[in-house]
């Protein structure tokens, strides 16, 4: 990356309307997202040429990883820092032992195994139905349900893999916030995807007048069981505050520069009691 390219990238990243790290805890359905104009990842992807063929996906990932290292090294040099303290010596091997152990633990985990099983079963149901679209026009709610189930089947796996792997890397002396952690954020997105998928399956069952004992209903039951298992494993996941999405003021347009895992506490709306309601009624009725 040239100096000019680095400066241009940093200038774009300094855009005050961006929500830092918002892309880490979403389902990447950009066409439905109200934050695309505040998402650095989306805006940068729009600047890039079209994606490489699937067969070159590994090469693309490796290229992006190397580009990230190059960017960090260039930024360090720009700021007068020693890049080897962060990136290591150029060409030095990354310590992959810990990463391999975390990946292996995630792949062996019963929750992740259940998610891959569900993914394959869900695709087996919805993909043939989606392929009929050129020949059969589905009602809008059914078409949307098919897209949601198909998209989220893979997203659930990916987010669970990240949550499990991230959690397994934590050491006993970790002092991070117990709520604003990457594993809680990833697990929350997985549970949100499950909730969307459960509703989508219900749409299909109603549209198809599916009998209560039909085997296809097992897919929904698998999701419910998976959701319960995630809730037990990550009991604080739903308390995680996703940048932008779970911040009403930011969603309404307020600027923010908080880091993705910075301590966040969204103030819960005050509960309106019966006494409050009666007091309001009294003021409206007798104090005009």
Distance CA 185, CA 236 (A): 9
pLDDT at res. 287 = 46
What global pTM score does this model have? 0.81
User: 113-169 pLDDT, tens per residue?
Assistant: 999 999 999 999 999 988 887 677 889 999 999 999 999 999 999 999 999 999 887
pLDDT at res. 222 = 96
Burial of 154 (0-12, 13-18, 19+ CB in 10 A): middle
Is the Cβ–Cβ distance between 255 and 17 less than 8 Å? yes
- Tell me the pLDDT band of 57, cut-offs 50, 70 and 90: very low
How far is residue 132 from each of residues 141, 143, 203, measured CA to CA in Å? 16, 11, 18
- Beta carbons within 10 angstroms of residue 198's beta carbon: 16
From the centroid of its chain, how far is CA 72?
24
Distance CA 197, CA 220 (A): 8
Q: Break the chain down into helix, strand, coil percent, rounded to 5.
A: 65, 0, 35
Distance CA 46, CA 26 (A): 18
From the centroid of its chain, how far is CA 228?
19
Radius of gyration of the chain (CA): 23
The winner for highest mean pLDDT among 5-14, 88-97, 166-175, 244-253 is 244-253
Dig out the tokens for 196 from the structure.
Answer: 């969307």
Percent of residues, the chain, with pLDDT higher than 90: 56
Give the mean pLDDT of the chain.
83
Top pLDDT among 1 and 156 is at 156
Helix (H, G, I), strand (E, B) or coil at 41: helix
User: 215-250 pLDDT, tens per residue?
Assistant: 999 999 999 999 999 999 999 999 999 999 999 999
Which of the residue ranges 15-19, 126-130, 204-208 would you say has the lowest mean pLDDT? 126-130
From the centroid of its chain, how far is CA 36?
14
């Amino acid at each position: 990356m040239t100096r000019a390219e680095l400066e241009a990238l940093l200038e774009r990243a300094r855009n005050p309307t961006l929500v830092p790290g918002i892309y880490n805890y979403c389902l990447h359905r950009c066409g439905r997202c109200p934050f695309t104009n505040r998402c650095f990842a989306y805006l940068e992807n729009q600047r890039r040429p079209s994606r490489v063929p699937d067969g070159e996906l590994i090469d693309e990932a490796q290229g992006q990883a190397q580009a990230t290292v190059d960017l960090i090294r260039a930024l360090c040099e720009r700021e007068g820092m020693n890049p080897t303290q962060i990136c290591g010596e150029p060409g030095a091997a990354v310590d992959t032992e810990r990463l391999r152990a975390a990946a292996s633990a995630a792949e062996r985990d019963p929750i992740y195994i259940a998610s891959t099983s569900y993914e394959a079963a869900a695709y087996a149901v919805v993909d043939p139905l989606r392929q009929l679209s050129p020949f059969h026009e589905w009602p809008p709610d059914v078409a949307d349900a098919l897209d949601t189930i198909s998209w989220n089947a893979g997203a659930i796996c990916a987010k669970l893999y990240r949550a499990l792997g991230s959690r397994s890397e934590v050491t006993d002396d970790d002092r991070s916030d117990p709520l604003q952690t990457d594993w809680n954020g990833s697990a929350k997105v997985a549970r949100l995807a499950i909730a969307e998928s459960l509703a989508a399956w219900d749409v299909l069952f109603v549209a198809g007048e599916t009998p209560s004992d039909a085997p296809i209903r097992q897919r929904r039951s698998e999701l419910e069981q998976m959701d319960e298992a995630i809730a037990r494993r990550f009991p604080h996941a739903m308390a995680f505050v996703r940048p932008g999405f779970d911040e009403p003021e930011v969603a309404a347009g307020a600027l923010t520069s908080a880091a993705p895992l910075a301590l966040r506490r969204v103030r819960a709306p005050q509960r309106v009691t019966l006494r409050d309601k009666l007091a309001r009624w009294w003021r409206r009725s007798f104090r005009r």
